[in-house]
Amino acid sequence: MCGIIGATGGEDVLDVLLDGLARLEYRGYDSAGVALELPRPANATSGPADGVPLWRARAASGTTSLDELRKVAHVAPKGALAGIGHTRWATHGRPSEANAHPHLDCTATVAVVHNGIVENCRELAEELIASGHELASETDTEVVAHLIEGELRRSSEPALDRTSQVGEEGRLAGAMRAVIGRLRGSFALAAIWAGEPGTIVAARRVSPLVIGAADSAVAGGSSQVLLASDIPAILGRARRFLLVEDDQVAELRPGSVAVTTVDGMPVDPPELRVDWDLDAALKGGFEDFMSKELHEQPRALADTLLGRVLPAGTLALDEVRISDDELREVDKVFVVACGSSYHAGLVAKYAIEHWARLPVEIDIASEFRYRDPVLDHRTLVVGVSQSGETLDTIQAVRAARQCGAKVLAVSNVVDSSMARQADGVLYTRAGPEVGVASTKTYLAQLAALDILALYLAQLRGILYPHEVRRLLDDLGEMPSLVEEVLGRSGDVLAVARSQRNTRDFFFLGRHVGYPVALEGALKAKELAYVRAEAYPAGELKHGPIALIEPGTVVVGVATRTRLWEKMMANIAEVRSRGATVVLVANDGDEEAGAMADSVLWVPAANPLLAPLVDVVPLQLFAYHLARLSGYDVDRPRNLAKTVTVE
Ligand code: AGP
């Protein structure tokens, strides 16, 4: 998830860009950059006075990127006509200045910024290189800049180069329309071209894009017109906001906005009423970052799954520096992780063992290296860490490598410490997670680990390609099922209200429902500060059932897996001892409903994929319990987002 911004008109384009990037930093901060279009002498047919068509500055120093950019911006030429800016959360290509946006074409007269994932960037890049383009980065975005250059060449007579930059209006928009017709995936793009002074062209598909204008701008005044990934970046400068829909192209000029479909048909963009203050805007209108991130889960899942299937129908991981032959030799898998990432690993154990028929051991990372595990070159150790900076997990991965094991990292941060120590990386693409409690990154980990399990199954010939394809189709349904459950937050709030004074919870589950119970219990502990123990339901009779008495609250994960009957027998055991029962159950499951005091309903899903859906009501339950107690859900007491100590 990155942030883009643009401005044309007015006297303070660069300031608008830098201020906007500061408000977009929560969307990513691996690098920051701006590109400005400068005025040129009245009689010139070439670029601006200094002969440089566009002025660009970039910085890639992590959280200080924007500070570094501001230092460079002091020497920027004055009086920019238009400009675009970007703050990056790396998904394609490491965090580096070379990969920082804006990206330029071969002539350095086209600049592009982008938020999203171009799924077919590899094949487009190969085509561009074959036709003589030189790419300077590892990003999908630079491909777009060169594609626009190609379309401008095709629409220009004589051929486009540095000297004949005089273009006529509409060519950049025409080029953008042609280019987005070739892109697969998600994008919010903004481009400037020295051949159309003062014009910014933007386009979107799935990724967010909003246009802002001063009151007079849309009515043809001469004031500034802006664009951004979201409203906070331009709130206070823009008075009116216009929404660009999927596969629409917007042309922004001082005082005017023109929007068309990808086929060039003019459309009248809907206006967005905004009465948020800045703090609310930074949270996308949600009351807190956790709520915003809960609702970003469908997108995080979809982005993590995007581009995983190659045209031949086989699966693709990210930076896997382990050969397929080496992976075929693997005879045992270890998963090492902490907290929610450990719970994701527990689900992965079921998936890898069932689909790939590989034995899986899973360890709490802080225990792993002290138990003298038996590892060798045929062992694959999977380190799961959204931050990629959890020291317990990094140390565990380091110990595994010292024993000769192959290491695969599953991380949400490109080039994180753990990623750098691994032989291969599978990235989740959930974007930065501000809330301390893992939600969207946890769900994205489940999806990434399912992809890994299917990749191993495919590689080992355990599953046929059509079986993998069917399971990937089931996985592709998950974002919409999660969306559906998020829409039931009000129902979950009612159940949370009924339990707002409960200080003790049992969470029960069987099979993949057990890690779901563990994650639900952890969320309740870390957010609502209640005691919450999770057990495999079959384990109750071996001791814990002694704790069940009238009024004990038991939360059971009772969706329809092949152990559903056994789960319901365990629920009958606790009910017979007076427990109050809350069940996560499938829509329409009246038998389960009859055994519960309250039900958190979820749609049915493939049993091994059900954890992606079944955990969502438990995330919401913990969230509402915490809010009902007035706790800060974004910054729970005693906790840090990343634990970089042992
Ligand atoms: C979960 O909500 C907590 N934030 C915590 O348990 C977290 O999952 C754990 O610290 C691991 O973090 P990581 O994924 O960044 O390694």
Q: What does the pLDDT read at residue 40?
A: 75
Average pLDDT over residues 277-295: 85
Greatest mean pLDDT among 239-243, 371-375, 389-393, 555-559: 555-559
Distance from Cα 418 to the centre of ligand 1, integer Å: 14
Reported as a single tens digit per residue, the pLDDT across 604-619 is 999 999 999 999 999 9
Distance from Cα 341 to the centre of ligand 1, integer Å: 6
Task: Check: CB of residue 511 under 8 Å from CB of residue 566.
Answer: no
Tokens of 128: 């561009």
Q: Which atom of ligand 1 is nearest to the CA of 441?
A: 14
Average pLDDT over residues 527-541: 96
Please give the Cα distance from 115 to 508 (Å, whole number): 40
Percent of the chain whose pLDDT exceeds 90: 74
Average pLDDT over residues 288-311: 91
Tokens of 493: 């709030």
Please give the Cα distance from 28 to 423 (Å, whole number): 25
Q: What does the pLDDT read at residue 483?
A: 98
Architecture of domain 3-279: 4-Layer Sandwich (3.60)
Average pLDDT, the chain: 91
Helix or strand or coil: residue 150?
helix
Find the range with the poorest average confidence among 332-346, 423-437, 527-541: 423-437
* C-alpha torsion 519→520→521→526, nearest 10: 80
Q: What does the pLDDT read at residue 215?
A: 58
**Nearest alpha carbon, ligand 1 atom 10:** 339
Distance from Cα 342 to the centre of ligand 1, integer Å: 8
Q: What does the pLDDT read at residue 160?
A: 47
Specify the amino acid at residue 96: S
Would you say the CB of residue 385 lies under 6 angstroms from ligand 1?
A: yes
Tokens of 139: 């990003």
Tokens of 563: 């152990």
Could you give the angle at the alpha carbon of 415 between the alpha carbons of 203 and 33, nearest 5°? 40
Tokens of 541: 């009779």
Please give the Cα distance from 291 to 622 (Å, whole number): 11
Distance from Cα 473 to the centre of ligand 1, integer Å: 29
**Hey, which residues does 508 pair with through a beta bridge?**
535, 556
Q: What count of Cα atoms within 13 Å lies in the side-chain half-sphere of residue 86?
A: 32
**pLDDT greater than 80 at residue 231:** yes
**Nearest alpha carbon, ligand 1 atom 6:** 339
Q: What does the pLDDT read at residue 159?
A: 45
Average pLDDT over residues 578-593: 97
pLDDT, greater one: 401 or 311: 401
Please give the Cα distance from 121 to 390 (Å, whole number): 32
Q: Which atom of ligand 1 is nearest to the CA of 337?
A: 16
DSSP 8-state symbol, 223: -
Distance from Cα 565 to the centre of ligand 1, integer Å: 33
Q: Which atom of ligand 1 is nearest to the CA of 526?
A: 2
Q: Which atom of ligand 1 is nearest to the CA of 437?
A: 2
**pLDDT greater than 90 at residue 169:** no
Helix or strand or coil: residue 14?
helix
pLDDT band of residue 222 (cuts 50, 70, 90) is low
pLDDT band of residue 277 (cuts 50, 70, 90) is confident
Distance from Cα 643 to the centre of ligand 1, integer Å: 8
pLDDT band of residue 214 (cuts 50, 70, 90) is confident
pLDDT band of residue 477 (cuts 50, 70, 90) is very high
Helix or strand or coil: residue 204?
strand
**pLDDT greater than 90 at residue 272:** no
**pLDDT greater than 90 at residue 285:** no
Architecture of domain 304-476: 3-Layer(aba) Sandwich (3.40)
pLDDT band of residue 493 (cuts 50, 70, 90) is very high
**pLDDT greater than 70 at residue 51:** no
pLDDT band of residue 162 (cuts 50, 70, 90) is very low
Confirm or reject CATH 3.40.50.10490 for domain 486-646, answering yes or no: yes
**Nearest alpha carbon, ligand 1 atom 12:** 385
Please give the Cα distance from 206 to 180 (Å, whole number): 12
Sign of the torsion angle spanned by Cα atoms 587, 588, 592, 597: positive
Q: What does the pLDDT read at residue 47?
A: 45
**Nearest alpha carbon, ligand 1 atom 3:** 437
Task: Kindly state the helix (H) or strand (E) to which residue 157 belongs, with its residue range.
Answer: none
Distance from Cα 339 to the centre of ligand 1, integer Å: 5
**Nearest alpha carbon, ligand 1 atom 5:** 339
**Candidates 332, 525, 566, 641; catalytic one:** 641
641 is a catalytic site residue: yes
Q: What does the pLDDT read at residue 92?
A: 72
φ and ψ at 386, to 5 degrees? Answer: -60, -40
Closest CA to 363 of 378, 379, 384: 384
**pLDDT greater than 50 at residue 3:** yes
Contacts from 523-527 at CB under 8 Å and sequence distance 24+?
523/437, 523/618, 523/619, 523/621, 523/622, 523/623, 524/618, 524/621, 524/622, 524/625, 526/436, 526/437, 526/622, 526/636, 526/639, 527/290, 527/437, 527/622, 527/623, 527/625, 527/626, 527/631, 527/633, 527/636
Sorted by sequence, the CB contacts under 8 Å of residue 113 that are 6+ apart come out as 4, 5, 6, 33, 35, 84, 85, 86, 101, 102, 103, 141, 189, 190, 191
Please give the Cα distance from 317 to 594 (Å, whole number): 44
Q: What does the pLDDT read at residue 229?
A: 93
pLDDT band of residue 155 (cuts 50, 70, 90) is confident
**Nearest alpha carbon, ligand 1 atom 16:** 385
Would you say the CB of residue 526 lies under 6 angstroms from ligand 1?
A: yes
349 is a catalytic site residue: no
Mutate to test the pocket of ligand 1, among 297, 335, 340 (most ligand atoms within 8 A of CB): 340
Reported as a single tens digit per residue, the pLDDT across 180-208 is 999 999 999 999 999 999 999 999 998 88
Q: Which atom of ligand 1 is nearest to the CA of 387?
A: 15
Task: Check: CB of residue 377 under 8 Å from CB of residue 332.
Answer: no
Closest CA to 528 of 641, 643, 640, 620: 620
pLDDT, greater one: 422 or 26: 422
Closest CA to 125 of 147, 110, 98: 147
Would you say the CB of residue 643 lies under 6 angstroms from ligand 1?
A: yes
Which residues of the chain form CATH 3.60.20.10? 3-279
Reported as a single tens digit per residue, the pLDDT across 232-268 is 889 888 878 998 999 999 999 999 999 999 999 999 9
Which residues of the chain form CATH 3.40.50.10490? 304-476, 486-646
Q: What does the pLDDT read at residue 157?
A: 54
Task: Report residue 476 CA to chain centroid gap.
Answer: 15
**pLDDT greater than 60 at residue 217:** no
Q: What does the pLDDT read at residue 179?
A: 98
Would you say the CB of residue 341 lies under 6 angstroms from ligand 1?
A: yes
Reported as a single tens digit per residue, the pLDDT across 335-367 is 999 999 999 999 999 999 999 999 999 999 999
Closest CA to 439 of 591, 622, 177: 622
Find the range with the poorest average confidence among 1-5, 187-191, 234-238, 443-447: 234-238
pLDDT band of residue 282 (cuts 50, 70, 90) is confident
Please give the Cα distance from 186 to 326 (Å, whole number): 33
Mutate to test the pocket of ligand 1, among 289, 397, 438 (most ligand atoms within 8 A of CB): 438
Asked if the peptide bond before residue 102 counts as cis, ω within 30 degrees of 0, the response is yes
Please give the Cα distance from 67 to 352 (Å, whole number): 44
